[in-house]
Structure 1
């Protein structure tokens, strides 16, 4: 589990009849002119439908190439990638998780093919914003953000604020545009005896809210220092102190229930869907479920006042070093960034990194995509708070539970996080 998303829930929707990772025959993974693709998206998902069209386009333009598509599961690829990619029977292109501990690790071990030349010649470096490129590039240590291109993202994800329009109307409040206005909205609900924020401290959501609050006081230099180790992080500085102090104050003021420390993301989501809370700060991965299950009028808005938002690219497409048809793979990757494919992503709620949001017919889905485009245009993706070092997810969850429960002061919480972060950074940088 990462603060980036509730992986178990996301994967459950992707489970298809799996094909063993080692079951790709030699003629299917490189004999002759072929293109073998591995991915783990459900056929009915936005990504699955977009990739299906990309494959059709590739086949139309390359009738002499045999395309073999193998649907894996997230767990299969995550668990077995390092073993499989050392052999000869590998796909030409596959979907893989981004980050230091996943794609970065494979890149540092020489298992992924560098795509820098293709990115420059095909214009991917112009199509994708700098923050989206962060998850595509890894240095020799496998740290994201610089070095060669080893992957191509073609959809995104971000944290937003979902709100119950009916409850907002009943309380006589409007969508806030600043943090001060947001707190005024929260006050309006507590004055009516309503706890405004659906939250969960036993899993990722509380950490996302905490990071959004930190980002309200942050700039890109802070993000680069925290995420990419460009300089030291001031753990008692204004960004993280404000976030931790504010989280504690919001509990004291009744904006967040005191029992939230023991609640899961699923608890949070189902309670919001049931109409118990007017506001939920969480990820774009909830969007499709809310469309299906929420029986009231609802909408969304970006965290008020922030120019930086929690989010990143989605998973990335990578080309194994041992792939036999690398040029075919590069051409397929290029097709996934075409307007036609990106617009399918948008229409189905998949957050395209390119394409035209105005062509999306459903208003809710169009706003959903336009908000992501706003972030992307301003290069405002700030990644997720647990990304910098291995094991930081559990440390953040535990530390913020102490804040919600009032058992530790802000300096104590931040000192604990600093210790874990700096040890992890030293291990990664071999300091």
Structure 2
């Protein structure tokens, strides 16, 4: 999630490819030994991850005199769509942020486009800093399936989805904070009655499909997730969980919980509608947390999706080192800095979910709650990854088919047929 994510962000804040150069060294601005670390990532500068990685660049330059960092900011969608082509060319960066999962990092590892980081993970202790739940997306087998095999990426933050709600709007409309799914439904009914569309939504990107996947997860268990994401069993899109999700989602559109016009809305627009106080509820990733904290001018809070032991989440997006990278050791050093306690603590206090921070160093109350909820999910094995991960190209299928469900141009049964066909076509034979 989305990622992100996602996130935005796992998010999909598509920032135009501005080229930012951070340099040190001689008076001419060049590096004394001619080396350059080319770095790509898609975190917005105001996000927790963006702030942490900017500080990591400064720390890298301080500890690597004479080396120039060339940072190019990319949009989430931009990297997702162009990475295979770029990594097959001579224009690959030394280090890049990339989405985790079978359909993305797994696919690139299977195609031989990423560097095997297994030895570095052991040498530098990255493997010992990550919990098993977070580490799942770092390793991929020969077929590009996550969960086992060699290390092809390192997540230095984690993420999960949660409900953001506008406390001021809830009070204005006399709606109590929901603790259960029936109470959430009642709250949405109350808003609709007052002429307010309760849910921020983005049908053109990841947000809509994540609503639907969460509905399915509320009727699922770990074996269901493992069958879908890791191919440890058969996935039937007409089972009870998927059927409930598709029918409930379509019903929510009919009831006005989700606007039909949101079929063409992007995640940025949905997030802004919440930040501007137009939508009282937004279900999305922790990657929005720092931005909501920085920009919301109203009283707000968060809670986990009620009535479900599972939610979307995982280790964050991965640092991957392209196979054709020219300065791999520099890339490893930069990853190491982002895993340091200093950067991890900063990440946590900015509203991210760090994987190796000192808990005592996190001072912000909302950030503490965010991290505590993630830790609880992780400990109960409640992270269920993301719906677009299982097979290459599935993200686009989910977007287009879920858009049809929003507009009413397809019905739940046909929607599930389309997902089954795309999934079966792309899933590897086990």
8 Å CA contact retained: 1:86, 1:111: no
- 3-state SS, counterpart of residue 147 of structure 2: coil
**Distance (Å, rounded) in 2 between the aligned partners of 1:49 and 1:413:** 40
Per-residue displacement from partner, 1:77-136 (whole Å, max 9, x unpaired)? 66367656776x976544334333443333223343322234345443342233322221
Deviation of the 1:153 alpha carbon: 0.5
| Structure 2 match to 1:70 | 70
Question: Which ranges in structure 1 are unaligned for 5 or more consecutive residues?
Answer: 20-27
Map 1:103-182 → 2, pairs under 5 A = 103-182=105-184
Q: Is the 8 A contact 2:8 2:44 kept in 1?
A: no
Q: Find the aligned partners of 2:95 and 2:197 in 1 and give their Cα distance.
A: 47
Structure 1 residues 81 and 406: CA distance shift in structure 2, 3 A: closer
What are the superposed Cα offsets for residues 231-283 of structure 1, whole Å, 9 maximum, x if unpaired? 21021112111111221232343433444444443443333333333211123
Q: Mark the CA change 1:226 to 1:59 in structure 2 (over 3 Å): closer, same or farther.
A: same
Aligned to 2:279: 277
Q: Report the CA distance between 1:299 and its aligned residue.
A: 1.5
- Check 1:334–1:172 CA distance in 2 against 1; reply closer, same or farther (3 A cut): same
The question of whether the paired residues in 2 share the 8 Å contact of 1:345 and 1:352 is answered with: yes
Instruction: Note if contact 1:16-1:71 (Cα within 8 Å) is conserved in structure 2.
Output: no
Where 2:353 maps in the other structure, the secondary structure is: coil
Question: Could you report, residue by residue, the CA deviation over 1:281-325 in whole angstroms, capped at 9, with x for unpaired residues?
Answer: 123333344334432211211111322211333321223445576
- The TM-score normalised by the length of structure 1 is 0.81
Q: Distance in 2 between matches of 1:83 and 1:397?
A: 24
Change (3 A) 1:12 1:243: closer
> Of residues 336, 339, 342 in structure 1, which corresponds to 2:338?
336
What is the aligned counterpart of 2:19 among 17, 24, 27? 17
- C-alpha contact 1:319 1:329 (8 A) present in aligned 2: yes
1:7 offset after TM fit, Å?
6.7
Q: Aligned pairs, how many? A: 416
Which residue pairs with 2:377 in the alignment?
Answer: 375
> Hey, what's the Cα distance between the residues in 1 that align with 2:185 and 2:329?
53
Tell me if structure 1 keeps the 8 A contact 2:37–2:330.
no
> How far apart, in 2, do the equivalents of 1:226 and 1:274 lie?
37
Provide the rounded CA distance (Å) in 1 between the counterparts of 2:89 and 2:366.
Answer: 44
Task: Tell me, in whole angstroms, the C-alpha distance in 2 between the residues paired with 1:7 and 1:346.
Answer: 17
Do 1:11 and 1:74's aligned partners in 2 also have CA atoms closer than 8 Å?
Answer: no
Which 10-residue stretch deviates more, 4-13 or 273-282? 4-13
User: What SS does the corresponding residue of 1:209 show, helix, strand or coil?
Assistant: helix
- Residues 12-411 of structure 1 correspond to what in structure 2 (within 5 A)? 12-13=14-15, 15-17=17-19, 36=37, 38-40=39-41, 45-54=47-56, 66-74=66-74, 79=82, 93-321=95-323, 329-411=331-413
In 1, Cα distance between equivalents of 2:327 and 2:196: 59
CA contact (8 A) 1:3 1:393 kept: no
Corresponding residue of 1:23 = none
TM-score when normalising by structure 2: 0.81
Instruction: Judge conservation of contact 2:61–2:68 (CA < 8 Å) in 1.
Output: no
RMSD, aligned α-carbons: 3.6
Q: CA deviation at 1:139?
A: 1.5
In the alignment, the residues of structure 2 paired with residue 362 and residue 410 of structure 1 have an alpha-carbon distance, to the nearest angstrom, of 43
Is the contact between residue 200 and residue 258 of structure 2 (CA under 8 Å) also seen in structure 1? yes
Residue aligned with 1:242, SS: helix
Q: 1:311-351, CA deviations, whole angstroms, 9 ceiling, x for partnerless residues?
A: 33332122344557656654543342232210111112232
Which runs of 5 or more residues in structure 2 are unaligned? Answer: 22-29
| Distance across 2 between alignment mates of 1:315 and 1:186 | 32
Residues 3 and 208, structure 1, Cα contact 8 Å, conserved in 2: no
Cα–Cα, structure 1 residues 105 and 18, in superposed 2: closer, same or farther, change >3 Å? farther
- The 1:154/1:379 distance shift into structure 2, 3 A limit, reads farther
**8 Å CA contact 2:274, 2:282 repeated in 1:** yes
* In structure 1, C-alpha distance between the alignment counterparts of 2:315 and 2:212, rounded to whole Å: 20
On the 8 A contact 1:157/1:311 being kept in 2, the answer is yes
Question: 1:45 deviation in Å?
Answer: 4.7
Displacement of 1:152 in angstroms is 0.7
Give the deviation of 1:154 after TM superposition.
0.2
